[in-house]
Amino acid sequence: MADGKHLKAHWFHILLSVADRDLHGAAIMEEVLDRTDGEIRLWPGMLYGSLKQLVSRGLIREVEAPEGSPTEGGRRRFYGITARGRAALHREVRRLERFVRVARAKRLGEERG
Amino acid sequence: MSPKAEARARRWYRVLLRAYPPPFRRRYGEEMEHCFIWLLRRDVARAGAVGALRCWLGTLWDCGLGGVAARLGRGEEERSIHGGWGMGMLGSDLRLALRALWRRPVFGATAVLTIALGIGANASVFTVVKSFLFAPLPYERPDELVILWDENPDLGWSDTDISPANAWDWRERARSVADLAVHYEERFTHTSEGQPELVAGLRVTPNYLTVLGRAPALGRDLRAAEVGEGIEGVAILMDGFWERRFGRAPEALGSTLLLDGHPYTVVGIMPRDFVALDARPDVLVPHDLHPRDADRSGHYAEAIARLAPGATVAGAQRELAEVARELEVEHPDTNEGWTVKAVSARADLVGDIAHQASLVLMVAVGFVLLMACVNVANLLLARAGSRGREMAVRSALGAGRGQVIRQLLTESFLMAGLGGVLGLGMGWYGYRGIVAALPSTMPPVFEFGMDGPVVAYTVLLTAAAAIFFGTVPAVRTSRYGAEMLRDGGRSGRSARAGRFGSTLVVVQTAVAVVLLVGGGLLMRSIAGMRSQDFGFDTGNLLITRISPPADPYDDSEALGAFWDAVETRVRELPGVTAAGTTQAHPLGGSNWGWSFTIAGREGEGERTARVTYASEDLFETLGFRTTSGRPLSGADGPEDPPVAVVNETFVSRYLGGQDPLTAGIVADEGEDPVRIVGVVHDVVERSVEGRPEPAVYVSLAQRVVRSRSLLVRTVGEPSAILPDVQRAVWSVDPTLPVYGVDTMDELVRRRLGGFAVIGYLMGIFALLSLLLGAVGIYGVTAYAAGQRTAELGLRIAMGADPSDVVRMMLLQGGRRALLGLVAGLILAGLLSGAMTRILVGVSPRDPLTFASVALVLAAVSLLGLYLPARRAARVDPVRALAAE
């Protein structure tokens, strides 16, 4: 499914979060929640279930915690995107772009005058 | 969120995490908990309790599905945990589930309806109970409000009205009390314009509204100096009165009300949502006597206090009791034995009875839902056979066991969801029915409604029910599917399913016993209250109240003449056999008391009794039974030595064997004792559930009282004669309102109201549980019989008599029923103790009730066992064996 037609929405958002820097699970959850104005909420079970699978599919990998990152009392696993993940993300972005272009052509999503 | 709440949330989340397989939990658990707490904090900060609820619901869903999927996903890493729960998959599961329900409409409808009954009972009761137990009172920081009562354990007085002078001392001295207001109800005749109208007034100290933390919507609050004698009259209108009398015109502010002939300037108008605790006044007016100038022996007001920051109810109680002891020393004549009881405003307004009833009913509906779930689980289990085949086919076509379970659980959730929606609808009607039946004596501070929390609670309950009744059958069915593939279904499944079914029967029987015992005890309690000896005849009795104002009835002579004329005119009406007056009729809610000593027994200290001022004909009108001496008589005139009649409890508690007709009551030191001339049988005065209290009856001819109840004994329906009675009163004075119209039967019915509501609800739930239990027992026995068709056929073929087969099945099923019965009786014995406050005249372990329940349940179980057993015994051996 991952390498197939398109990415599941929450996988897409996880990949997007780690696209430019390595993050731990809670930070990914926060970022997605903020970016989507609370619309997409990765519940803990869903989040870590997805992270586990994304790792097993080679789309992301566990990385060393960055220097000086706060541990907040417990060990945090950091995740970074892999080349394969970046490719999947890229494909998905292009796919979405195509839809947006079509919508724009139909003059949707513009300011209403 | 407080650290304590957070610690609690963490603990619960860790419990939920157990849904995941241990390796997953070990690897991610700590981080998941961190994420969860972050989400919970955020939701609480944004939306408070609603946010917390939403977060928990989401988490429950997340852990439930994620956990199940992660466990089933062992070894099939490809099938994602949540990926498999994408909308597409959920949609297809739902479609399949709908189709499965549609294929067996009777089964589906039965299950949905059963769940709906359980959910509906819970939703309706929870809607009402939530208001009682959780909804905030409509005041500022309502948890700081306490209501204070006087108590005198020596005299057996509890929850008595307070004496304002004492209360004012509590206010000055107790540091745990930030402020305290004194209030009492008083009725006025309002004569500003148009018809004279009776107005319900609440006399308050000027700090009343500040103590409650409320303010007028228009105008101003009372000023601190506006209390006591000689001040200019001011009044604050309640919204309802403003609307009724002034049509919400703003000019009402500043206008003058004539109450009992005195002018009161309207200085404020309260907002619509303001309620005066348990009172329903039209106007608030200041005390016309400053509390500190009041006579300490007069217990006629109520006190509400606001605790100082950090103070607790228990702390305030201790300090106030200390102050009360100081006052006892300072004012021994009036305060001996009197102490204070502090109750939180909510507890006081809800009352012990409603509180306990709430808990009992919540437990009862919980049990009803449990029984409903057990029945549905039973139904699902009984279907495991046929579904097993279907699931076997599905597995053969490549579905994993996880998928099969998911499919079955979706069906459960679908059924529960439909049942939940239907139940919510039933609950809406149910709660409105309960609220309509609540006695009118309930304080108006409670608002009932099916709001967000109720819906959330129902959703949560529905989900819990789905998991409860769906999980075991789903797992069994899927296992059966797998076995079916292996060996054609001849493995040990039926034994296992049968065992589970038996356990369910035991649980159901036990729960039905508990509910039936609860319902039975309450029914007996209500029947007892209704049929108790009231000490007077409640039938054909009309009650009205009349309050002649001080102008023109300014002295006792004028008042006496007025009341004599009224009594005479009413008595002459056709259809009236007797008429009498009293300052307070039985069950009228009066709390008038008298403190006195017994002549010759002054050493025994001060005594207290309820006092009733009675006109000559009151005893005859009510049908009091004189047990010795004589009733009050017209011969006891104002100039004659004062006399009194007492009740039997008075004699047994205070006279210690002395002949009552030789005893006297000393109400005021130095005065001649009031001679006791007669004894009457105890009369139910204060409440239908209370115990008899000492009572004194004094002649109205010797002590005049202004406002009175007029009681009329009629030949026919009492309310039919009301217009004649009104005309008779108006023939004496056409300006007087006749109010408080009632019949005694109606009053008794209302007084029983609260108990009756609890009783009927428990009765309904008990019957529901009996029905569900009977269906459950029948279902399990029929299923077991079906499973054993071949074996029974063989037995009959080998020469067993069909009656032996019936006996065998009855014995086997009977053992389970007996086990459930005994467990239920033990459980009921343990739980019924929680009902002591709502049971009157019945022991919580009433043997008659327990025995009847055992009998009824045994009979129902037997029937539930016999019908399927008989059918099984009629099996044709040839066909039964051929089927194998």
Q: What is the ipTM of this complex?
A: 0.90
What is the number of helices (H) and of strands (E) in chain B? Answer: 23, 22
Quick check: B306 and B179 in contact, CB under 8 A?
Answer: yes
Residue of A nearest to B77 (CA): A53
Could you tell me whether strands B541-546 and B234-237 are parallel, antiparallel, or unpaired per DSSP bridges?
unpaired
- CA-based Rg of chain A, rounded to a whole angstrom? 16
Q: Based on the number of CB atoms within 10 Å of its own CB, is B750 exposed (0-12), middle (13-18) or buried (19 or more)? A: middle
Query: In terms of residues, how long is chain B?
Result: 884
B77 close contact with A: CB closer than 8 A: yes
Quick check: B528 and B752 in contact, CB under 8 A?
Answer: no
Are B31 and A26 within 8 A, CB to CB? yes
Amino acid A27: pLDDT:
92
Are B67 and A45 within 8 A, CB to CB? yes
Q: Which residues contact A93 (CB under 8 A, 6 or more apart)?
A: none
Amino acid B836: pLDDT:
82
Amino acid B827: pLDDT:
92
Amino acid B427: pLDDT:
92
B55 close contact with A: CB closer than 8 A: no
Could you say which of B38, B42, B62 has the minimum Cβ distance to residue A45?
A: B62
Report the gap between the CA of A45 and the closest CA in chain B (Å): 6
Q: What is the mean pLDDT of chain B?
A: 84
Report, as an integer, the average pLDDT of B316-323: 94
Report the gap between the CA of A95 and the closest CA in chain B (Å): 20
> Phi and psi for B729 in degrees, rounded to 5?
-65, -45
What is the number of helices (H) and of strands (E) in chain A? Answer: 4, 3
Q: How confident is the model at residue B116 (pLDDT cuts 50, 70, 90)?
A: very high
* CB contact residues (below 8 A), chain B span 79-138, against chain A: 80-83, 86
Mutate to test the interface with B, among A10, A13, A46 (most CBs of B within 10 A): A46
User: Which chain A residues have a beta carbon less than 8 Å from that of B86?
Assistant: 8
Distance of alpha carbon B612 from the chain centroid: 31
In this predicted structure, the answer to whether residue B284 has a pLDDT above a threshold of 70 is yes
A9 close contact with B: CB closer than 8 A: no
Q: Based on the number of CB atoms within 10 Å of its own CB, is A21 exposed (0-12), middle (13-18) or buried (19 or more)? A: exposed
Residue A88, amino acid: A
Are A52 and B35 within 8 A, CB to CB? no
Q: What is the pLDDT of residues B135-176, one digit of tens each?
A: 788 899 999 999 999 888 776 667 778 889 999 999 999 999
Amino acid A109: pLDDT:
58
Percentage of residues in chain B having pLDDT higher than 70: 93
Report the gap between the CA of A60 and the closest CA in chain B (Å): 16
Residue of B nearest to A44 (CA): B32
Are B30 and A74 within 8 A, CB to CB? yes
Report the gap between the CA of B464 and the closest CA in chain A (Å): 19
Amino acid B781: pLDDT:
76
User: Which chain B residues have a beta carbon less than 8 Å from that of A50?
Assistant: 80-83
Which residues are B543's β-sheet partners? B711, B742
Amino acid B524: pLDDT:
86
Residue of B nearest to A29 (CA): B35
Alpha helix positions (H), B576-711: 618-622, 648-654
In this predicted structure, the answer to whether residue B399 has a pLDDT above a threshold of 80 is no
Amino acid B156: pLDDT:
63
Could you say which of B35, B39, B83 has the minimum Cβ distance to residue A8?
A: B83
Distance of alpha carbon B277 from the chain centroid: 18
A74 close contact with B: CB closer than 8 A: yes
A21 close contact with B: CB closer than 8 A: no
Report the gap between the CA of A44 and the closest CA in chain B (Å): 5
Give the range among A80-89, B171-180, B369-378 with minimum mean pLDDT: B369-378
User: Which chain A residues have a beta carbon less than 8 Å from that of B62?
Assistant: 43-46
**B744-787 helix and B401-437 helix, angle to the nearest 10 degrees:** 160
Are B62 and A44 within 8 A, CB to CB? yes
Report the gap between the CA of B71 and the closest CA in chain A (Å): 12
